[in-house]
């Protein structure tokens, strides 16, 4: 979505967690289509986010001017340095690639920063929910109650993930709950760019289970 005011650029953001040789041709096609259809007065910028540099394999020779001018920027999450020095949104994405031994500390720092820096309640809640979801993915054997204890936040109890977990907790044991967490992570991993096979490997599920779960999902409303 465009930012408010003609002086602010429109940002196009692509998150890519698997090799894609057509990512830049697709990105520029989508940007061109948006500009043609909407004719914005704003300038524009593009950002492509990778977990690491090794996945950035697409040829840029037909688009090199955009990279030289920095109209298109590439971010490699594992090269960003300390989480505390990053914007909250980027730092939250970096949490995906953090090692388990540092993820909890980073998450706690992000929670504090989200409370202090994000003044709009809906945005704050969305970030808290995303942080929790990433932690659930990274620590699939932990119950939601344990995740809640890790957060130590009253705000967490208002997030969708917590509310759904509270309801499920009355009906399921810890082992079944952990399995359900894995199924809940499938759409997130696919939106981050993982293939069905990669998502199955990350979650310890079979490819058939991934495919069956996605068949249950409602159609996407994205345009």
Give per-residue pLDDT as tens, 8-33: 788 898 888 888 999 999 999 999 99
Mean pLDDT for the stretch of residues 110-137: 83
Cβ atoms of 104 and 85 closer than 8 Å: no
The DSSP code for 75 is E
- pLDDT-derived band at 82 (thresholds 50, 70, 90) equals confident
Quote the pTM value.
0.58
Residue for token digits 């465009």?
Answer: 2
Residue for token digits 């096609």?
Answer: 29
Cβ atoms of 221 and 197 closer than 8 Å: no
């Amino acid at each position: 979505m465009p930012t408010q005011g003609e002086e602010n650029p429109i940002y196009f953001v692509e998150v890519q967690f698997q090799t894609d040789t057509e990512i830049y041709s697709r990105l520029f096609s989508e940007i061109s289509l948006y500009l043609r259809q909407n004719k914005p007065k704003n300038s524009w910028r593009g950002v492509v986010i990778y977990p690491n540099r090794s996945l950035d394999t697409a040829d840029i020779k037909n688009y090199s001017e955009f990279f030289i001018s920095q109209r298109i920027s590439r971010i490699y999450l594992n090269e960003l340095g300390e989480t505390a020095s990053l914007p909250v949104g980027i730092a939250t994405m970096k949490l995906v690639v953090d090692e388990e031994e540092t993820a909890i500390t980073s998450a706690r720092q992000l929670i504090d920063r989200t409370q202090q820096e994000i003044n709009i309640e809906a945005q704050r809640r969305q970030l808290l929910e995303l942080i929790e979801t990433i932690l659930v993915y990274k620590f699939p054997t932990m119950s939601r109650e344990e995740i809640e204890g890790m957060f130590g936040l009253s705000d967490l109890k208002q997030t969708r993930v917590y509310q759904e977990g509270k309801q499920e907790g009355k009906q399921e044991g810890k082992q079944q709950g952990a399995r359900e967490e894995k199924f809940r992570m499938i759409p997130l991993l696919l939106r981050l760019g993982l293939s069905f096979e990669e998502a199955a490997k990350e979650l310890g599920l079979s490819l058939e289970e991934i495919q069956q779960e996605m068949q249950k999902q409602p159609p996407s409303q994205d345009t």
